[in-house]
Amino acid sequence: MRAAVVFVILLMMAFANAATITWQNNTEDGLWGTPENWSGGLVPTEVDTAVLPYIEDSDGRVTLDSDFEVSSFQLQGLGTILDGLNTYKLILKGRGMVGGNVKTEGTVLADLLLMNDGELTSPSNWDSRIDVFGDVTDNGDGYNITFGGSHNNKTSIGGLIDVGGELYVQSLDVKLGDRFVDEDETVYEGGAITNAAGVYMDCRFAYADQHNSQFIIDNSVVADNDRIRGDVKLGTVRNGGRFTLKGNSETNVVERVKAFDIRSGVMVLDIAGENAANKTDLVFEGYERANGTSATLTYSKSGRLIIENAQNHNGIWVPWMLHGGHYVKVDDSGAIVQTVNADYETPASTGNDASEIYRFADTDLELTENTEVYGLLWDRSSAQTLNLGENDLTIGCGTLLITGNGDKTITSSGGSLVFGGEDIILFVNGNGKAEIGVPIAWNKPSGSTVEYPSVVFPNVAKNDGVHFTGKDLIGDYGSFHAYTYDNNSLRSLYFGGPSDRRFHGDITGVMAIEKTGTGTLELYGESLARKVSLFIREGIVKIGNINAPRPEVYEGGACEVLEGIAIPSTRTPTMKPGGMIMGDGTVRSNFTLDDDVKLSGGSAGKVGTLTLCVDNGAKLTLKDGNTLSVKIDAGEKNAAVNSLVKVGQKIVFPKDTPITFKVDVTDLSEGTALVKDKVFTVMEWDSLDNFDEELVTFEITTSEPWRVGISNATVDFDTVAKKMMLSGIELSGRGSAIIVR
């Protein structure tokens, strides 16, 4: 069984006479150039889509008998083969696509000429696979290839990929190096990449798939020490992925690569030897790495990772590469390997060395002086507590490793946990909870040019999560990456404490974030993650990017949409009972409020306008107990100004159901705003649905009865002017009123 191949060329062109022409093999000669073999009796041209389905009672082979140009090429058959190796080319100029959510199997033995950026993909079926044993070239034009498909089992490359752009791996597996035996026992084998700028992992799988995109340099069938030729880099973008080098059971394999290039996410490097007798070396001449990234190393049998000229510093190679929850080092052979217990010192209450790495294996440790260590590993399968007292603990390399079962707790009576690297990297696994209940701070390394530290969680497997409950003395961060998927569940990162945190960079990975405690969590970067569950349970999360994660807002929590941000339908907040939506930005599409949800224009201490439902046909759906929070402040010459909620399209009330709509009034002016005879417009809309004045009760309330008088306050819900107006407010007195108009 061989997989279907679909080669998709992305080209922004439109042809008025384009047609989809399907292979029928009516003459049974199997030749592409025979018109009678195609639907309509026409051979596909450069404006057409050529579809090769499986033909029953046929050998499934379509043979090129000349060079042909098509806009799109769809190979949808079971066992279909496109032939013409080393003879003719199929020239791909336009866009192609896979034929449905079905299993497809096939092989390309023809050479493919790219005329634009392209994509190799197959259907959403785990049994589908792609075999490409012809050569793929772009004639030096520098195009890119994306290996796509949401569930394709494998893309096998047995020919030469000679494309000058970048290759992106988004599918399950791309295997470079394979063997294909034809029905006539012809053997095709090989697989290499040359001239490309790089091969980049770009995993896009949904988090529940538990899969990672993987690029395999496979020598298990045919050994080749030069599958990556020239100055091709191996790297990651967005969420990253896995690179695997497989060895050979009969001969040594030494694959030399220009560099690895970690642009985003986590790169997993796996060197899988076949046996102990034959070495399997992956050798990089150097590396490039962006801040906020990390790498994880695994190796087996004779597998070795070698970075030329790598040297240890304070007992480890670099703090951003890990192996199994340990730091890594350069051994005597030049290989990068996991550190072992003998490489670590045992921490004490006093007298620790800033140039050493330490292994904390006791149940308790209390510091009696300010302490700096280069690295720290927690390693015990039961509960542990580290008490800083009034002393600061500095992790010089910036990477903290917490492993083992049981609760792991850092506490203090004033001392801070200080990270001394450009990035803050935390590896946390084992059952129980990890709690960092101390202030955290950052000591920017000497000579560093980064503005903020980025945060990386290469792995979080604590079933009760990681809790930050101390004060955050850092405040501003760069990017954020976390992988918290473990045992079919997302483990949570709890951002609590009385602090404001601002992430200015992108968010990648797979994670659950819980906003707890007072203070704010501000998100200004784009979420490129496979999955982010963002729960706002306490405090405020400020949305400063239209592609920030979609939040769920619970009672006690608030989501603030910042000015200039217009949240699209794919990121619309989910409002749970009692949650609040606020801000000066816009929620564009349909917006449904649960019971007791609060609406407020502006921020916590400032009046402003929140805009909802501006997209064509968008609706704001109300439920019982919804509250419009109205803030009053003093403007120019103490003239009263107020917050406003504007609904660009329709407000929908529950049909034939009585509800209470609350208007809660607060004063930001400390009594200085001139409110006498003032009529406040507090809500506007374009149209209403199901509104019945007999069924809607407007209740005016205040949480500041010592300052805001509402005994004479009224609400005017004007269906003609399309406004809700509030009047009769006084900045003194007490009382409550229920007014229906």
Token pair 């374009």 in the structure block, residue: 686
Q: pLDDT, tens digit, for every residue of 268-291?
A: 999 999 999 999 999 999 999 999
Closest of 304, 347, 349, 352 to residue 328, by C-alpha? 304
Tokens of residue 172, six digits: 């399950």
Taking the C-alpha atoms of residue 107 and residue 71, their distance in angstroms, rounded to an integer, is 20
Q: How many other CB atoms sit within 10 Å of the CB of residue 461?
A: 18
Counting Cα atoms < 13 Å in the Cβ hemisphere of 67 gives 6
Q: For residues 647 and 591, state if they share a domain.
A: yes
Smallest CA-to-CA distance from 8 within 160, 167, 118 is with 118
More confident residue, 84 or 484: 484
pLDDT-based confidence at residue 307 (cuts at 50, 70, 90) = very high
Higher pLDDT, 733 or 334: 334
Number of folded domains in the chain?
Answer: 3
pLDDT at 467 over 80: yes
Longest dimension (CA), the chain: 96
Range of the domain at 383: 362-542
Please state, in angstroms and rounded to a whole number, the distance separating the CA atoms of residues 37 and 629.
70
342 in helix, strand or coil? helix
Residues 517 and 562 in one domain: no
Q: Is the pLDDT of residue 100 over 50?
A: no
**CB under 8 Å to 281, separation ≥6 — which residues?**
252, 253, 254, 255, 271, 304, 305, 306
Q: What is the mean pLDDT of residues 674-701?
A: 96
d(CA 78, CA 475): 56
Residue type, 1: M
Q: Is residue 243, in this structure, part of any structural domain at all?
A: no
Q: Is 185 a residue whose pLDDT tops 90?
A: no
Angstrom distance (rounded) from CA 238 to CA 276: 35
- Return d(Cα 562, Cα 584) in angstroms, integer: 5
Provide, rounded to the nearest whole percent, the portion of the chain with pLDDT above 90: 76
With contact defined as beta carbons under 8 Å apart, do 705 and 667 qualify? Answer: no
Mark which of 476, 510, 542 sits at the end of a domain. 542
Say whether pLDDT at 6 is over 60.
no
**pLDDT value for 272:** 97
- What is the band of 207 on the pLDDT scale with cuts at 50, 70, 90? low
Q: What is the pLDDT of residues 594-640, one digit of tens each?
A: 999 999 999 999 999 999 999 999 999 999 999 999 999 999 999 99
Residues 443 and 556 grouped into a single domain: no
pTM of the model: 0.90
Same domain, 496 and 612: no
In terms of domains, do 444 and 531 share one?
yes
Residue-level pLDDT at 735 = 38
Higher pLDDT, 207 or 558: 558
* Dihedrals phi, psi of 427, to nearest 5 degrees: -105, 120
Whole-angstrom distance, CA of residue 491 vs CA of residue 466: 8
Task: Pick 128 or 413 by higher pLDDT.
Answer: 413
Residue 208 φ then ψ, to 5°: -70, -10
In terms of domains, do 535 and 554 share one? no
Query: What pLDDT score was predicted for residue 145?
Result: 85
**C-alpha separations of 618 from 522, 552, 650 in Å:** 27, 20, 7
Q: Say how far apart CA 112 and CA 135 lie, in whole Å.
A: 6
Q: Which two tokens stand for residue 383?
A: 């509960």
The answer to whether position 129 is within a domain reads yes
269 in a structural domain: no
Q: How confident is the model at residue 210 (pLDDT cuts 50, 70, 90)?
A: low
Residue 704 lies in a domain: yes
Quote the mean pLDDT of the chain: 90
DSSP E strands, 35-140: 49-52, 61-63, 68-70, 72-75, 78-83, 89-92, 105-108, 111-114, 118-121, 129-132, 136-137
* pLDDT for 101: 43
pLDDT, residue 84, reads 81
Whole-number Å distance between alpha carbons of 599 and 584: 12
Q: Is the pLDDT of residue 98 over 50?
A: no
- Per-residue pLDDT at 114: 77
Do 489 and 572 belong to one domain?
A: no
- The sign of the torsion formed by the CA atoms of 728, 729, 732, 734 equals positive
Residue at which a domain ends, from 196, 218, 236: 196
- pLDDT bracket for residue 104 (50, 70, 90): low
Q: What is the mean pLDDT of residues 169-193?
A: 87
Residue 337 domain-assigned (yes or no)? no
476 alpha-carbon distance from chain centroid: 20
CA dist 205 and 240 (Å) reads: 11
Kindly state whether residues 559 and 538 are assigned to the same domain. no
Same domain, 510 and 625: no
Four-residue CA torsion sign, 562, 568, 574, 577: positive
Return the DSSP state at 692. -
- Say what the pLDDT of residue 738 is: 43
Task: Supply the pLDDT for residue 125.
Answer: 61
241 in a structural domain:
no
Digit-coded pLDDT (tens) for 32-91 = 999 999 999 999 998 888 888 877 666 778 999 999 998 878 777 667 788 887 678 888
- Indicate the SS3 state at residue 336: strand
Q: Which amino acid is at 228?
A: I
* Domain contains 83: yes
pLDDT of residue 739: 44
Report the percent of the chain where pLDDT is more than 70. Answer: 91
Band the pLDDT of 143: cuts 50, 70, 90: confident
Domain match, 616 and 560 both: yes
C-alpha angle 39-42-44 in degrees, rounded to nearest 5:
95
Q: Find how far residue 515's CA is from the centre of its chain.
A: 18
Collapsing DSSP to helix, strand or coil, 37 comes out as helix
Let me know if residue 217 belongs to a domain: no
Q: Residues 592, 644: one domain?
A: yes
* Predicted pLDDT of residue 318: 98
Using DSSP's 3-state secondary structure scheme, residue 208 falls into helix
To which H or E segment does residue 553 belong? strand 551-553
- The torsion angles phi and psi of 279, rounded to 5 degrees, stand at -75, 150
**What's the sign of the alpha-carbon dihedral 719, 721, 726, 727?**
negative
Q: Is the pLDDT of residue 151 over 90?
A: no
| 564 and 535 both lie in a single domain | no
pLDDT of residue 352: 98
| Domain stops at, among 509, 542, 575 | 542
Mean pLDDT to the nearest integer, 667-674: 94
Average pLDDT over residues 347-364: 98
Closest to 644 measured CA to CA, from 723, 563, 736 = 723
Statement: residue 152 has pLDDT above 70: no
What pLDDT shows up at residue 72? 76
Q: Which residues pair with 663 in a beta bridge?
A: 628, 700
pLDDT of residue 140: 87
